[in-house]
Amino acid sequence: MDKPTSADKPIWEPSRERAEASNMARFLRFVRERIGNPDLVRYAPLWEFSVREPKRFWPLVWEFCGVRATGELEPVIENPQAMPGARFFPNARLNFAENLLRYRDAHPALVFRNEWGHARELTYAELAAQVGRFSQALKASGVGVGDRVAGLMPNLPETIVAMLAAAALGATWSSTSPDFGVPGIVDRFGQIAPKVLVGVDAYPYGGKSYDVLEKLRGVLDAIPGIERCVVLDYSGQQARLDGLRGGVRWADFIAGHGETLEFTPVPFNHPQYILYSSGTTGVPKCIVHGAGGTLLQHLKELVLHTDLKRDDRIFYFTTCGWMMWNWLVSSLAVGATLVLYDGSPFHPDGNALWNLADETGISIFGTSAKWISAIEKAGVKPRQTHKLAALKTILSTGSPLAPESFDYVYRDVKERVLLASISGGTDIVSCFALGNPLLPVYRGELQCRGLGMSVEAFDENGQPVRGQPGELVCLAPFPSMPVSFWNDADGSRYRAAYFERFPGVWAHGDFIEITAHGGLVIHGRSDATLNPGGVRIGTAEIYRQVEQISEVLESIAVGQHWQGDERVVLFVHLREGLVLDDVLRARIREVIRHNTTPRHVPARIEQVPDIPRTLSGKITELAVRETIHGRPVKNTDALANPQALTHFAALRASLEAH
């Protein structure tokens, strides 16, 4: 039995049986035997080996996870000291789709549910057959190696089918969520010039249906290079394709094509995915990720850190515009069952995803820190209402998971569960810090640095620090570093994004602390770090305190230039019907002061009815900071609710006056 522990110790520890049966324990034994080191029995020395000897470590991951490829594995790293510039496995060739479709049996591959009540399942054999037909249809449309196929798709089985079909041909896949506006879609897809666009007629969210056909028309008008637009009748209605240049229904597109799969081998660094930065400070950066690096990194994280096995059912609440979708889909390479959901996680109430977990037998459940906080505020207590019998792991990312959310999960969700707060980003299509089935969980901490990731915290002078916050840096190359940015021929934008702060070192833009346990605490984005009186403060430190207060649904803190210095301004979104008064302001300040330092206490606290967030659900301090200083927010199309900025603009005069 997994053992919950008292508050002065880890909040959870794995049972001996669970730890010894884990993939990480098997990998430890595998590495120990291969390198002949009988003392390699714990995670810490395994991590040290992985970052000290990457040329030995990464081939061991390759073999243990069964990567399918041809060619030589030597050299493992070409130009190993170059950052950027190192290349992994330059002589290997593989196909991403072939690795994800290695199973062709009757085991469930995809289990799908949505708000409309649709329920479907696909076996691995059925998935491979559908990919074969769509891939042949793409080939007949002229799609080949290096072409781009884009998806304006919800989280559906067909989205995965289309991605794998493109990958089988050596084409590059890029997707975004259909809740983007046309300008936001064009800002992304317009840069990469896809040959084929795949979309749906409509999608559900929060009890409503939203049309996508008009958006598809707008995108086609703006990007003349798109030759075909394949439309899935997702709503069940016969979509009208008039005025849709190159438009064809999904069923008609694949009609007459067989199920035979052909896989085109490509180099390790061949562009597999193009992902996008949030775009809140300008046109989004198009981040190109390689087939081999993405596959190898995801296998390491899923197999070892997440302990994913073939009999698991893994779920992540995500859109196709968030890198967690790409991460989730790689679970197919393990032969596990993916549970997909499309719709609002709060429809009809806060139990929607827990109902899904019970109904489909989810064993690994992934979501955002913000959702966990929101359901706690809503009084949802699944431990009292749901069985969650299969659930063994809960994953959280998107923003730092507050210590109080750890308490909530173990108190009100499930006691015997591994709660893994993980952190990485679109930039690396993976994680720097992860869960670990061998290690305890400490309240408010991410369990460990990922294998092969030479992560440290740097002070402003580029020196490693312990026990205090610093910049998250990575000191050595790793396989899932971006291949490039699109349309960045000399690599200058790529270097500027990650390597200008500390030359030769990846600076990620997060503010972290490496703890005595070897875990991490995320203090927020360093580009949103507050600096009152020259003291650097992570915004997450403030949010953790403010959101303990029951009246506050969420908050956002920014630095305001004030009298030659910077002061902290806090905006709070309160429960419906509540008004911020001096009593509540005083209580907020007291909670912050008592649990942090006087430096963290905001100089101003103001109420707003909404807080701006990106389409992936992250609050955006930068947009608020620009607004209160009267500077334009360069790309409001990157925001899910740009109208929220009007509330901050209305407070500008007051903030400037006193």
Q: Check residue 573 and give its pLDDT.
A: 96
DSSP per residue over 372-403, as a string?
Answer: HHHHHHTT--HHHH---TT--EEEEESSPPPH
101-136 pLDDT, tens digit each: 999 999 999 999 999 999 999 999 999 999 999 999
* Closest C-alpha to 323, from 278, 265, 369: 278
Which whole number is the average pLDDT over 569-598? 93
> What is the reported pLDDT for 4?
45
Res 7 pLDDT > 50: no
Which of 365, 311, 362 minimizes the C-alpha distance to 103?
Answer: 311
Q: For residue 2, what pLDDT is reported?
A: 54
pLDDT in tens, 164-173: 999 999 999 9
Give the DSSP H/E element, type plus range, for residue 17: helix 16-20
Per DSSP bridges, beta strands 148-152 and 393-397 are unpaired
Q: Whole-angstrom Cα distance, residue 372 to residue 422?
A: 14
What phi, psi does 93 have (nearest 5°)?
A: -130, 140
Q: For position 598, what pLDDT does the model report?
A: 83
pLDDT, one tens digit per residue, over 433-485 is 999 999 999 999 999 999 999 999 999 899 999 888 899 999 999 999 999 99
> What is the spatial distance between Cα 629 and Cα 650, in angstroms, rounded to a whole number?
12
Instruction: Using a pLDDT cut of 90, give the percent of the chain over it.
Output: 83
Report the candidate in 239, 298, 246, 252 with the shortest Cα–Cα distance to residue 272: 298
pLDDT of residue 281: 58
Model pLDDT for residues 327-337, shown as the tens digit of each residue: 999 999 999 99
Nearest to 391 by CA among 422, 428, 364: 364
Going from the N-terminus, what domains does the chain have, and what CATH number goes with each?
3-101+292-482+489-521 (3.40.50.12780), 112-264 (3.40.50.980), 529-657 (3.30.300.30)
Cis ω for the linkage preceding 503 (within 30 of 0)? no
Helix (H, G, I), strand (E, B) or coil at 358: helix
SS3 593: helix
What is the SS3 string spanning 78-131? ECCCCCCCCEECCCEEECHHHHHCCCCCCCEEEEEEECCCCEEEEEHHHHHHHH
pTM score, whole prediction = 0.89
Lowest-confidence segment of 111-125, 237-251, 274-288, 473-487 by average pLDDT = 274-288
Q: Which residues contact 543 (CB under 8 A, 6 or more apart)?
A: 400, 402, 524, 554, 555, 557
Which residue, 388, 320, 332, 355, is CA-closest to 122? 332
Question: How far from each other are the two terminal CA atoms of the chain, in whole angstroms?
Answer: 58
The first and second tokens of residue 207, run together, are 């009890």
**Dihedral (Cα; 518, 524, 526, 527), 10-degree rounding:** 160
Residue 537: predicted pLDDT: 80
DSSP structure class, residue 441? B
Considering the chain, what is the average pLDDT of its residues?
Answer: 94
Q: Using one digit for the tens of pLDDT, what is the confidence trace for 488-519?
A: 999 999 999 999 999 999 999 888 999 998 99
Looking at the predicted structure, is the pLDDT value of residue 280 above 70?
Answer: no
User: In terms of Cα–Cα distance, which of 330, 322, 327 is closest to 276?
Assistant: 322
Question: If you ran DSSP here, which 8-state letter would residue 614 be given?
Answer: B
Least confident span in 119-123, 293-297, 535-539 = 535-539
> What percent of the chain clears pLDDT 70, i.e. is strictly above it?
98
What pLDDT score does 550 carry? 92
